[in-house]
Chains A and B, each alone.
Chain A
Amino acid sequence: MDPVLLLLLVLLGFMLAGSLIAVETRDLLSSVICVGAVGFGTSLVFLLLGAPDLALTQVVVEILVLVVLVRVVITRRDETHATSRATLPVGLVLLALGVMAAIVFGTLATGEDEGLTMRPFGDPLLNEQAEASVMAPAGEKAPEGAPARMPKSAGGAFLAHGLSESQGSRGTGAANYVMGILLDYRAYDTLGEATVVFVAVLGVYAVLRKVGRSRHAGNESDR
Chain B
Amino acid sequence: MTLAMAPYMLAFLIFVVGLYAIVAKRNLIKVIVGLLILDYAANLLLVLVGYRTPAEGAPVAPILVGGAEKAADLAASAVDPLPQALVLTSIVIGLSVTALVVALAIRLHEKYGTFDTGLMRNLKG
Map CB proximity to B onto A48-91 as digits: 1 under 8 Å, 0 otherwise: 11111110011001001100110011001111100101101000
Partner of B79, one of A50, A104, A197: A50
Measured between beta carbons, the chain A residues less than 8 angstroms from B115 are 28, 76, 78, 80
Binding site for B on A (CB under 8 A): 2, 4-5, 8-9, 12-13, 15-16, 19-20, 22-23, 28, 31-32, 35, 38-39, 42, 45-46, 48-54, 57-58, 61, 64-65, 68-69, 72-73, 76-80, 83, 85-86, 88, 100, 104-105, 107-110, 118-124, 126-127, 151, 153-156, 158-160, 162-164, 175-178, 180-182, 186, 189-190, 193, 196-197, 199-201, 203-204, 207-208, 223
Contact B83 A155 (CB under 8 A): yes
A78–B29 contact, CB under 8 A?
A: yes
- Distance (whole angstroms) from the CB of B44 to the closest CB of chain A: 6
Which A-B residue pairs are the 8 nearest by beta carbons?
Answer: A200-B96, A122-B53, A50-B59, A155-B82, A155-B80, A120-B4, A12-B10, A181-B85
Contacts of A162 in B (CB 8 A): 71, 81
Instruction: Report the minimal beta-carbon distance from A32 to chain B, rounded to whole angstroms.
Output: 7
> B118 contacts which chain A residues (CB < 8 A)?
80, 83, 86
**Additional pairs, 9, CB under 8 Å, beyond known A154-B82, A175-B65:** A28-B30, A69-B102, A73-B29, A78-B114, A107-B8, A118-B5, A121-B51, A122-B53, A123-B52
Residues of B in contact with A (beta carbons under 8 Å apart):
1-14, 16-18, 20-21, 24-27, 29-30, 32-34, 36-37, 40, 43-44, 47-53, 58-65, 68, 71, 74-75, 78-85, 87-89, 91-100, 102-107, 109-111, 113-116, 118-119
What are 18 A-B pairs at a CB distance below 8 A? A4-B58, A42-B43, A50-B58, A78-B116, A86-B26, A110-B1, A110-B5, A121-B4, A121-B7, A151-B75, A155-B80, A163-B68, A176-B62, A177-B64, A181-B81, A193-B89, A197-B92, A223-B111
